[in-house]
Structure 1
Amino acid sequence: MLDVEYANTNSSTTVCSEGLPRDRFDGRGGFANCLTENCTFVYANSDPVIDRAKTAATSQNFLKQLARIRHHILTVWAFEDVIVSQISVTYTRKDASTLTVPAVTIWKLQEELIDECQIYVDASPLFER
């Protein structure tokens, strides 16, 4: 299907994403450009984060702990203002070891932006070492 990759390179994070609005991912902001100002972001069993800037900071802090993340999108269901994706996520740690786990993302859209982003994944093995 489709691969989406986030790779840390020196001081910045690059985002590669086919099939999504490329202009929103390019330049400063990356994923944050796809979010509403007052979005809600929930990753795994973490507390919800509300606000685009806070979501971007939370995401960037997580990404800085890793060398790379690759999302292999297996199936996507879209209806009304909701997009549900079944994915396989491969995390590459800074020591180059990897972990692949299944995940589901749910995006609730508002005027073509993500207003709610929920990511269901068990990433607990990621930092168990």
Structure 2
Amino acid sequence: MPTEFAARVFALVDGTDAVGFSRLFALQGRMRFGNAAPMTGPEEIAAGIGAFFSTIKGLHHNVVREWYTGADAIVEETVDYFRLTGDTVTVPAVTMWHIDETGLIDDFRVYVDLAPLSA
């Protein structure tokens, strides 16, 4: 069962709410998704994640395990990607983030191989 914050993160992502997700970030918060270039700040994150969302029909995160130490989180998950073609691809992923002193994300990283999504 994900923690309250993790559940909020994944609900926004699974709802393809790029703007809502970006509001979880500090002004200089950084996000790196897979091997893409890092995005900095809520506006850039919303634009980048929104562009990705336009390439799929939807997605769903299934949390496997979570680890926390202080303000740092590591979440192992499987992610179901619903392709525009109607089929589903499931891949393993790990998401890590750090929460700053204001309660916002200042560093967010997603480690995932999306090659199966385009195969």
Give the TM-score category using the shorter length.
0.7 to 0.9
Question: As a proportion of its length, which structure holds more helix?
Answer: 2
* Structure 2, unaligned runs of 5 or more: none
Query: What TM-score comes out, normalization by structure 1 length?
Result: 0.78
Question: As a proportion of its length, which structure holds more strand?
Answer: 1
Question: C-alpha displacement at 1:107, in angstroms?
Answer: 0.5
* Structure 1, unaligned runs of 5 or more: 8-12, 16-28
Match of 2:58 among 62, 65, 68: 68
2:38 — aligned with what?
A: 48
2: distance between equivalents of 1:127 and 1:79?
35
- Runs of at least 4 residues off by over 6 Å: none
Amino acid at match of 1:115: D
CA displacement 1:71-122 (0-9 Å, x = unmatched) = 0011111111101100000000011111101100000111211111100000
1: distance between equivalents of 2:17 and 2:86?
18
Amino acid at match of 1:40: R
Query: What TM-score comes out, normalization by structure 2 length?
Result: 0.84
2: distance between equivalents of 1:52 and 1:30?
9
Match of 1:119 among 95, 110, 119: 110
Identical aligned residues as a percent: 27
Q: Alignment length, in residue pairs? A: 110
Structure 1 vs Structure 2 CA RMSD = 1.7
Match of 2:75 among 71, 74, 85: 85
